[in-house]
Amino acid sequence: MKYTVEISNKLNELLERTYDAEKGFKQVAEKTNNETIKEFFKNRAKQRYDFGHELKKEIKAFGQDPDKGGSTEGTLHRTWINFKSLFTSNNDEVLLEEVQRGEKEAIETYNDILNDTDFVLPPSTENMLMRQRNTIRETLETADLYEHAVS
């Protein structure tokens, strides 16, 4: 029982970050006038919504309840984006930099879970987490390309 609770707790932490990322991508999509970047952000918000449902399903498979909302840290990050974007001339560059920062943190969270030696993840859970992490890496790379294009 302790094993499933530990894994569920880790997945719930990831679920919180996923909620935060979804909200963050929706927020930054509203702040850009660049249609290409706006569409990129909207697509990533939808992707994180889908990730959240996958994580919820996995948590329930462990017989646990998924968390319902984001974190205080995520709320503070979105507030910082609002504040910072008020005082910058290249809003898109700032938004993309913040997205990159958030994606790097997300990758670290995934890696922490995937590399945790205190427990062994079931193959289905490990595969899902690796796929999501690799998709986030692709988002990070794309955000970097856009950031260089607008700077």
Q: What is the 3-state secondary structure (H, E, C) of the chain?
A: CHHHHHHHHHHHHHHHHHHHHHHHHHHHHHHCCCHHHHHHHHHHHHHHHHHHHHHHHHHHHCCCCCCCCCCHHHHHHHHHHHHHHHCCCCHHHHHHHHHHHHHHHHHHHHHHHHCCCCCCCCHHHHHHHHHHHHHHHHHHHHHHHHHHHHC
Structural domain including 14 reads 2-150
Burial of 76 (0-12, 13-18, 19+ CB in 10 A): exposed
Instruction: Dump pLDDT digits (tens) for 70-104.
Output: 555 555 544 545 545 544 545 898 889 889 998 99
CATH of the domain at 124: 1.20.1260.10
pLDDT at 76: 54
Average pLDDT over residues 29-43: 94
Residue with tokens 């909620």: 19
Instruction: Dump pLDDT digits (tens) for 108-126.
Output: 999 999 999 888 899 999 9
Poorest-confidence range of 29-33, 41-45, 49-53, 132-136?
29-33
Measured CA distances, 22 to 16, 65, 79, 121, 122 (Å): 10, 20, 15, 25, 26
pTM for this prediction? 0.85
pLDDT at 119: 83
- Structurally, the chain folds into a number of domains equal to 1
